[in-house]
Amino acid sequence: MGTRRAFDAAAADFAALGRYLWEPIGAATVAAAGLAEGDRVLDACCGTGASAIPAAHAVGAEGVVDAIDLSGPMIGELRRLSAGLPQLRAHEADATAWDTGGYDVVQSALGIFFFPDMTDGTERLIARARSGGRVVFTIWRGGSMVAAGRHLGRAVAAVTESGPPSEREPSLIDRIDQAGPYADWLSERNLSDVDVTVNELRLTMTPEIAWLVVVGSGFRGLLDGLEPDVVERVRERYLESLRADGVTELDATTLIGSGTVH
């Protein structure tokens, strides 16, 4: 399943997981952006607005937030959630092809590593900011979320009697998922004053939250094509697997990288 379809299917559960995961990360991303009233902001890969909505509050009625996501259901949910914020304009589009520019701030929370070419896509976003503007890109720190993916992969394999889940090919994100390498990579992107903040977050894995982590995120793609009764067996197996391994918390720490555009 592609990124778009996984997130399309996840939109409602994505919003439900939001208060535990996306919203605190989005708020920290916006805090790092240092927004002022009247600012023009591009929020790329906005999902249901975890960073776009607090940004819209920060820039006020005189400001603008163009929030962009590939997924129509995400954008639909965001339009519903931001009904009282006319300064937030939600667009269903590919953020890397967005051609309006001159933004005071370009931000993206947990989005840039989905671009087929992460470096090229990120440079395209940076080019949308005005000279002297700021960019803020939040990524997972290495190791975050992996325990959930590992237990889910095992549960799907066991229930569907398929082979063990294939390992993802190592890619750029695996080489820059610590603060130092991430700062170096950002510094190579025509940015100055680069700063990377480690934003610690741990989710308490109650059964409810543990399952929301699956159905309310891109992990949901692993359930694609499974019948509801099979999904229910996967859910039971996954929760049992977490219990057996004593997993009570999930590391969801992020790296918030920012810089000034030349």
Which residues are at the interface with ligand SAM (CB under 6 A)? Answer: 3-4, 7, 22, 25-26, 45-47, 50-51, 68-71, 74, 94-96, 109-111, 114-115
Long-range contacts of 219-223 (CB under 8 A, 24+ apart): 219/148, 219/149, 219/152, 220/6, 220/9, 220/10, 220/13, 221/1, 221/2, 221/3, 221/5, 221/6, 222/152, 222/153, 222/156, 222/165, 223/156
Nearest residue (CB) to ligand SAM, 92 versus 195: 92
Q: Give least dist CB 147 to ligand SAM, A.
A: 17
Nearest residue (CB) to ligand SAM, 4 versus 243: 4
Residues 6+ apart with CB under 8 A from 19: none
Nearest residue (CB) to ligand SAM, 157 versus 173: 173
Nearest residue (CB) to ligand SAM, 49 versus 237: 49
HSE of 153, CA atoms in CB hemisphere, 13 A? 13
Q: Give least dist CB 229 to ligand SAM, A.
A: 28
At 136, give phi and psi (nearest 5°): -135, 120
Q: Give least dist CB 162 to ligand SAM, A.
A: 25
Q: Give least dist CB 50 to ligand SAM, A.
A: 3
Nearest residue (CB) to ligand SAM, 68 versus 212: 68
Nearest residue (CB) to ligand SAM, 22 versus 103: 22
Distance of alpha carbon 113 from the chain centroid: 9
Q: Give least dist CB 64 to ligand SAM, A.
A: 18
Residue type, 122: T
Q: Give least dist CB 155 to ligand SAM, A.
A: 21
**In this structure, what DSSP letter does residue 190 have?**
S
Tokens read off for 50:
């975890």
